[in-house]
A and B are shown apart, each in its own frame.
Chain A
C-alpha cells in the first residue's frame, strides 16, 4: 500500500473511481484547463454569421464542409457552456444555418429559450426563430417555452406579442394549446389589427390541435367579420371555416353570416381599384377565395343559404377577368362552390362551361385543376362531364404525371355500358405505357369496370387477358382468382377459347423469357390450360374463331408435347415465384389426365418426379404427393384430377380475396380411400390466395368441425345437386369461411355464437365466434342505425400476449345506413385459456371523428376446445 493513510477516507469509492490515486487524471485535468483557457481567449472574436456562410460555401468537398461545420459547432457548444450571453444571438443564428445544411443542432434548443427570455428585441426575434426551427412538439422544453410565451403574449410591444403568436401558431402542441388558449382568446379581442389577425390564426391552429377548445373562441370570432382590415377579415374567415368543419352545430350557428360574407364579397368585386390589395386587376383574390370556400361549406345541403349566394356566385363567375392565373384561381373556387351547394341549374351550366374552357386552356396548371374539378363534380352531373370525354382521354397521353393521374381517375368515373369498349381500348394502351405506380390502381379499376359493364362475356374475358398481359406483376392478387372464377363459370366453348387465348400468351412469354414480369398471367394461364387442356390440343379447337379485334388470328394448335415443353421451360426457370410454380405443377398434373399420348404422359411424370427433390419444401411436397398418384394411388388419379365444377361467382365479394368460398364436387369414394387420401393432403401448408381451388381436394372426417359442416351442407339442398366438400387446406378455418360465403348475415349453427361487442352511438358491432382445437375465427359485423353514411370505419382488436391474432382486410371502410362491414379475425390460442379481447372502433360521421373502445369477455368458455 503506497498511500495507506488515504485508504480510510476513500474506501467508500470503488478503486477504479478513486481518482485521487490516478496520476494520469491529474495530467488530463491540467490539459483540459489549458485548452479551455485557450478557447476562452479565442472566444473573444466569434466568427460572424456572414463569414461562416462564406467559409462553408468555400468548402470544395463535403468532407471539407463537414470539418468547417464541426469546428464551428464545437466552438458554439463551448460558448453555450460558458453561458456567454453577449454572443448567444449570433451563435444561434449560425447554428440555424448549420441546421439547414442538415447537421444536428438540437443542443441549441435551450439556448433559444434563453434568448427568448432576454429583454433585447434582437435576442427575442432570433430566439423565436430558433424555437420554431429547432423545437417540434415532441420536446420536453415545451413546458419552459409555454412560460416564455405566456409572458410575451402579455407584452406591451405589439411585435413581441406578434413573435409569440407566430411561434405558438407554428409549434403549438395540444398541451401548449390548452395552456395558452385563454391568452389567445383575449388577444383576438385586442383593438390592434396586427395582433388580432395573428391571434385569430393562432386560434385556428389551437382548434386544429384540440377541437374541444373551440367553444371559448366562438363569441370573439363573429365580430372579426365586421372589421375593415383585410388581414383580420381573411384570418377571421379562415377561423370560421375551421370551426364549421369542426362541428355541424357550429356550422348551423354560422349560417346567419352568409349575408355578411356575400356583402364583403360584393364590395370586393364592385369596389374600384385599390392598389393595396390589387393583384393583376383582381381585388384581393386571397380573401375572395377564402370567402368562396366558406360559402361553399355553409351552402352545402342548405337550400336557403344556397339561394342567398346564387346571385353573387353568378356575378363572380361572369365578371372575373380570366386572362391571368389569378382570375382563374377565383373562377376555380367559384365553380367548386357552385357544384357543391344547391345552386340553380343555369348556374351549373355556367360552371361546367367554365371547366370546358379550362380544359382547352394552354396553361397546364389550369388543365390540371379542370380535371380535378371535373372529377369532383362527375358524380353530380355525369352527362355534362361526358361531353368532354375526348379531351379527357387525350390527357391520358400527357407527358405530365400529375395530369395523367387525374385524367385516369376521371376516365374511370366516366365509363358506362355505352362507351366501355372505346374507353377500355384507350385505358389498355394507357396501362401498357404507364409508370409502375399507376399499374396496380389502373388494372384493378379496369377489372372492376369490365365486370360491371361488360357488353359480352367474350369481350370481358379478352379484356381481362389484356389487362393481365399489360399490367404484369403490378396486378392485385385478387384479380387472378377473380379471372379464374369467371373462366370457370363460362360456357365450355368459352373455356376452350380462354385456354387457347392464354396458351398463346403463355407460349409467347415463355419463348420471350419475360414470364417473370407477368406472373399473374402465367398463373391464370396455367390454371386454365390445366383445366381445359384437352380442348386446347384437340381438333375441336379449329371450330373456335380466334380472330381478334384487329382481324388477326395468331393461334396455332400446339402438340401435347410442345405444351409440356413450354411447361418444363417455365418450371425450370429460376425466376418464377413459388406460387406461380405451384400453379404450373398442379396444372401439369391435371394435364396428365387431359392429354392422351404416351410420350407426353412420360414427360409429365419425369417433371413431376424431379420436384420430389425440390429445394423448396412446398413444391417438394407437391412433387412427392403427385408422384404418389402415379404409384400406389394411380387408380385415384383420374378422379382426383377431374375438371373443377363451375365456381359460384356471386359469393365473392369485392376487396375480400381472403374469403374465396368455393363449392366443389366430392368424388364419391369409399371411406377408406378418403383416409388414404388424407395422408396426401393433410399437413400441406396453407396456400396463398387464389390457390385454394386448384385441385378438388377432399377433406376427411377426422376433424369434427369439418364433418359437421359437411353434414350441414349436404343437408341443405344447394343449387347443384352434387354433394359438397371443403376445398380448403386450412381445416380449422374452413367452417366459418364457407358459411360466411353461403349464408349471408349469420347462420345459426351449433358452433357459432354471436357476441355483442359494442352498441354505442348508433353503431353496433357483433362478433360471430366459432372455434375449436386451439383456434377460433371471429367474424366482425358492424352495422349502423344512423341515417347518414359513416366513413373511415376502422376496427382494431387486441388480445393478450399468449394469443395470436391475424386480422384479414375488412370488406370496406364506408358504412351505409343499411350496410354492413365485415372483417375476419383468426385467433390462435395453444394454451386454450378463455379469450379476452379489447376492441377499438373509429369512424367519421358528419365530419366528426368518433372513437369507441370496449372490452369483450363474454366469449363461450369452451371456445378453444
Chain B
C-alpha cells in the first residue's frame, strides 16, 4: 500500500501531497522536508529506490518535477515506477503535454486525476481510458452545476 505521494520541483518546492496514512500536520511537514532533501541529494545515475525509515521510497524525475511514492516493504518497487508513469501519462493526456506550471495552476485537477487512479493507497483502475472518462464526466457535471461560479 502506498503511504503517501509527493510531487516536488528540482528546487525542492512541494507541488502535490497525498497522504494515505494519518499523521499530524507537523510530522507530515517534517517527513516532506527530510525526504525532499534526501531525494534531491541523490545523483541522477542512482537507482530509483531509497530505504528510508520504515518505508521504501520510489521516485522518478520527469523534467523538472520529482514524483515520489512511499511504499510498504512488500510492495513491488518496479510496479510503483509503472504507477508513477501511468499517473504522468494521465496528466499528460488531460493537460496535453503537461508541464510543471499546469500542475501548479491546476493542482486540484491533478488531485482529482490521482483520486481516480489510486484510492486508499491502492490502484483502483488499470485502464487509462476509464480514468479520463470519469474525470471528463465530472468536469462536465461541475460546469452544469455551477455555470455562475467559475472556480479559478
Contacts and interface: CB of A to CB of B under 8 A. Distances in A.
Main secondary structure of the interface of A (DSSP, over half): helix
Contacts of A93: 108, 151-152
B79 A368 contact: no
B45 A364 contact: yes
B137 interface: yes
Interface string A355-369: 000000000111111
B97 interface: no
Given A126-B108, A365-B81, A367-B47, A166 B115 contact: yes
A643 B20 CA distance: 62
Contact of A136 (B22, B119, B149): B22
Interface residues of A, number: 79
Interface in B13-54: 14-20, 22-25, 29, 42-43, 45-51
Interface in A155-194: 157, 159, 162, 165-166, 169-173, 194
A289 B49 contact: no
Interface stretch (A227-235, A575-583, A682-690): A227-235
B92 interface: no
Interface string A319-336: 000000110110011000
B127 A169 contact: no
A97 B76 contact: no
Nearest to A296: B74
A136 B18 CA distance: 12
Interface string B126-149: 111110001001100110111001
A364 B46 contact: yes
B112 A125 contact: yes
A138 B151 contact: no
B82 A136 contact: no
B146 to A, nearest CB: 4
B78 interface: yes
Contact of B126 (A198, A230, A365): A230
A843 interface: no
Given A100-B17, A122-B149, A364-B46, A333 B79 contact: yes
Contacts of B86: 279
Interface string B78-115: 11011100100000000000000000110110011001
Interface residues of B, number: 61
A90 B108 contact: no
Contact of A159 (B128, B137, B146): B137
A276 B108 contact: no
Contacts of B121: 169, 205
Contact of A332 (B1, B78, B105): B78
Given A50-B105, A231-B126, A277-B127, A325 B47 contact: no
A361 to B, nearest CB: 11
A89 interface: yes
Interface string A64-104: 00000000000000000000001001100100110011101
Which of B19, B128, B129, B142 has the most chain A CB atoms closer than 10 A to its own CB? B142
A48 interface: yes
A201 B1 CA distance: 11
A165 B130 CA distance: 17
B149 A89 contact: yes
B47 A402 contact: yes
Contacts of B47: 364-365, 367-368, 400, 402-403
Given A86-B149, A194-B134, A169 B78 contact: no
Interface in A391-447: 399-403, 405
B107 A284 contact: no
B141 to A, nearest CB: 5
B112 A129 contact: yes
Contacts of A711: none
Which of B1, B23, B45 has the most chain A CB atoms closer than 10 A to its own CB? B1
A231 B120 contact: no
Contact of B138 (A121, A169, A173): A121
A347 interface: no
26 contacts: A50-B105, A50-B152, A93-B152, A100-B14, A100-B15, A100-B107, A133-B17, A136-B23, A157-B141, A159-B137, A159-B138, A166-B119, A170-B20, A198-B119, A198-B124, A205-B121, A234-B125, A277-B126, A277-B127, A279-B82, A286-B79, A289-B79, A329-B76, A399-B43, A400-B42, A400-B47
Given A100-B16, A198-B124, 16 more contacts: A89-B146, A89-B149, A90-B152, A93-B108, A100-B17, A166-B119, A235-B122, A277-B127, A286-B79, A325-B82, A329-B82, A364-B47, A368-B47, A369-B78, A401-B46, A402-B49
7 nearest A-B pairs in the assembled complex, by CB-CB distance: A169-B120, A364-B47, A329-B78, A205-B120, A137-B22, A400-B46, A122-B146
